[in-house]
Copies of this chain bind each other. A is one copy, B any other.
Amino acid sequence: MNQVILLNKRPVGKPVLSDFRFSNESIPTPQVGEILLMTLYVSVDPYLRGRMNDTRSYVPSFELNEPIQSGIIAEVKDSNHPEFKKGDFVSGNLYWKEYQISNGQGINKINASVSELSSYLGVLGMTGLTAYLGLTEVGKPLPGETIAVSGAAGAVGSIVGQIGKIMGCNVVGITGTDEKVELLRSRFSFDDAINYKTTPDLTKAIEKVCPKGVDIYFDNVGGEISDAVLANINKYARLPVCGAISLYNETKTSVGPRIQPIILTKSAIMRGFFVSDFSKKFPEATKQLAGWLKDGKIRYAETIVEGFNNIPQAFLDLFEGKNKGKMIVKTNMQ
């Protein structure tokens, strides 16, 4: 049998398990020019929440009663395609299906001897590229500058901080548990970190750990955390907006302090981006990340959930901050 996960209902506010539905299909047979893929690792990411709405976003909406898509690592089980052979490992934006057919378009072979397969969904995949390109292309760090990162213990934030350190910056992370604070300081070499859930005055706390002010704010969360960081930015600050996880499940428009006066008086640049905006730089960025990984200059964390059945729950857990580093589902298929 071949389990498939469909979008059952468009979530209202915070997604729930019943927004998803499991279905069964037969395992398909690859025709000429096609390959049969077996899903090994599935990436669940906050941005998928936007695709579950019926509104225009940076990527098209998922269709109701159709399978969800995300980054997936798969094994080629059967091939009628000249460029792939049985046993190859590939990555691509694929369906939440145990087995599926592909014509090879948008599918990349990956090398299990270079790095763990799952890392191609994280540090060597979309989230690593997002961290590297968002920081270098939008943040443009200079040695000695101060970088603040929200969602700092997540898949993107944890890599942003380490790249910031490589580039000679002071790096401060904002996260949601004391355990993650410790992880940022020890494993990910952040200079300091703040647990926003237990900090009464976040604006002051940021001022304290960033005594020279914030030159770059890499924003993964939006909302009140971002208000507190923006109150501490320096003249000519750069503000890459990578995500807004705190706002994805809001059912009405969130309101907060208007930021134009700060942007104006600080001659600051706020720029939203999606990693595909920089797709021309993917090869160069991947090479750089792989080099740092090999040299032990960056480390990554993964929260691995086991079982294809647990994909929806793993996705929901993102919004509770249950992941450290990249949230990945390992299907255990073989």
CB-nearest residue of chain B to A138 = B269
Contact A270 B271 (CB under 8 A): yes
A327 CB to nearest B CB, Å: 20
Question: How many copies of this protein are present in the complex?
Answer: 2
Report the Cα distance A188→B52, complex, angstroms: 45
Most buried by B among A50, A241, A254, A269: A241
A residues 242-257 near B (Cβ < 8 Å) are: 242-244, 247, 253-257
* Chain A 193-234 interface residues, beta-carbon cutoff 8 Å to B: 219, 222-223, 226
Separation of A5 and B217 alpha carbons in the complex (Å):
42
In contact, B243 and A253 (Cβ under 8 angstroms): no
Q: A247–B273 Cα gap in the complex (Å)?
A: 28
Mask, A149-163, CB within 8 Å of B = 1, is 000000000000000
Q: Is A7 an interface residue (CB 8 A)?
A: no
- A105 in contact (CB, < 8 A): no
Q: Which residues of B contact A116 (CB under 8 A)?
A: none
Also in contact, A272 and B247, with CB within 8 A (given A58-B265, A255-B255) = no
Q: Is A268 in the interface zone, CB < 8 Å from B?
A: yes
Instruction: Report Cα–Cα, A257/B247, bound state, in Å.
Output: 12
A50: chain B residues at CB < 8 Å are: 265
Task: Look across to chain B and name the residue whose beta carbon is closest to the beta carbon of A237.
Answer: B272
Sample 28 A-B pairs with CB under 8 A, ordered by A number: A56-B265, A58-B264, A58-B265, A58-B266, A222-B258, A223-B258, A241-B260, A242-B264, A244-B264, A247-B258, A253-B257, A254-B257, A255-B255, A255-B256, A255-B258, A256-B256, A260-B272, A262-B272, A263-B272, A264-B274, A265-B272, A266-B272, A267-B271, A267-B272, A267-B274, A269-B269, A269-B272, A270-B270
5 cross-chain pairs, A with B, having the tightest CB-CB distances, nearest first: A264-B272, A263-B272, A270-B270, A222-B260, A269-B271
> Which residues of A come within 8 Å of B, CB atoms?
50, 56-58, 219, 222-223, 226, 235, 241-244, 247, 253-274, 277
